[in-house]
Amino acid sequence: MKENIYITRKLPSSIIEKLEKSFHIDMWEKEEEAIPRELLLEKVKEAKGLLCMLTETIDEEVMEAAPNLKVISNMAVGYNNINVNEATKRGILVTNTPGVLTETTADLTFALLMATARRLVEASSYLREGNWQTWSPMQLTGMDIFGATLGIIGFGRIGQAVARRAKGFQMEVLYYNRSRKREAEEEIGATYVDFKTVLTKSDFICLLLPYSPEVHHLISKNELSFMKKTAVLINTARGGIVDEEALYHALKNKEIWAAGLDVFEKEPVDLSHPLLTLSNVVTLPHIGSASIATRMKMAQLAADNLHNALSNRGTVMKVNDPVQA
């Protein structure tokens, strides 16, 4: 008898074909809507494997409802939606999809930086709303990117990929990371500095570090106060890294110039969120990895992780080393 796998979002048939040969597949058949929590708790009861999205909170309650669960395959690089410590204690392996989205997310990060700096979204709305009546010297003026200083907080694969793009604009690249990356420094031409120096010296600051409780609200009122009044903050990492209330006040009071946000503390973001009222904020619906090719690679890797882990063969991108009962 085939073991049960539950998939929390509709995936292309080409992705699940391999899984279907070895396992019994049950899948939430909607692509644009997250599975209701109550249904998830029901569906995992018999599951040995779970392929989930960032939209699902896989906590102690879910694991308690799934006594047979052995593998949680997250279709994402980040995994702050999963209680990894609880999974480890219960002997459940957690996997993710690193590597495949590096260049796509770097593209989006730099695109968001450019759109925010040059007020592209605001300018498009200005034209469409019929406000373009004449030319004036300071109309919709933005910030220059070429030759500016870029500060990167989190110098992993994506941070380094963004730095390479910045070099094409002859930007000076400063970075802060928990560990110094000397080889990458030499290859890219980036300079390692302390956290406060990144904040005080940079014209653009990109947040590209993984989320963990240790970096919750890493950027808050105090850190924002160190930044230039002309600084632009870009966050394509995780929403919880930024204190959104502090950011709102800094932007509203012109303590910093603008922000580009692909992520929020609560997703989807509430349409009444104060940040959405500001013209100097460019907002996106968490689309950092949203190219067709990359999303297909992520889905395939998540499926392969699940298949290989349950079959006990092949490569598995492990997040934890679970305690075996």
By annotation, the residues acting in catalysis are 238, 267, 286
H helix or E strand, kind and range, residue 61: helix 60-65
Give 171's Cβ-side CA count (13 Å radius): 29
- Phi first, then psi: what are they for 57, rounded to 5°? -90, 110
131 exposed, middle or buried (CB, 10 Å; 0-12, 13-18, 19+)? exposed
The two counts, helices (H) then strands (E), for the chain are 12, 12
The pairing of beta strand 3-7 with beta strand 49-52: parallel
Q: Residue type at 85?
A: N
**How many C-beta atoms lie closer than 10 Å to residue 288's C-beta?**
22
Structure tokens at 198: 């990144």
Query: How far is residue 33's CA from residue 89's CA, in Å, rounded to a whole number?
Result: 31
Query: How far is residue 96's CA from residue 74's CA, in Å, rounded to a whole number?
Result: 5
Structure tokens at 274: 């104060």
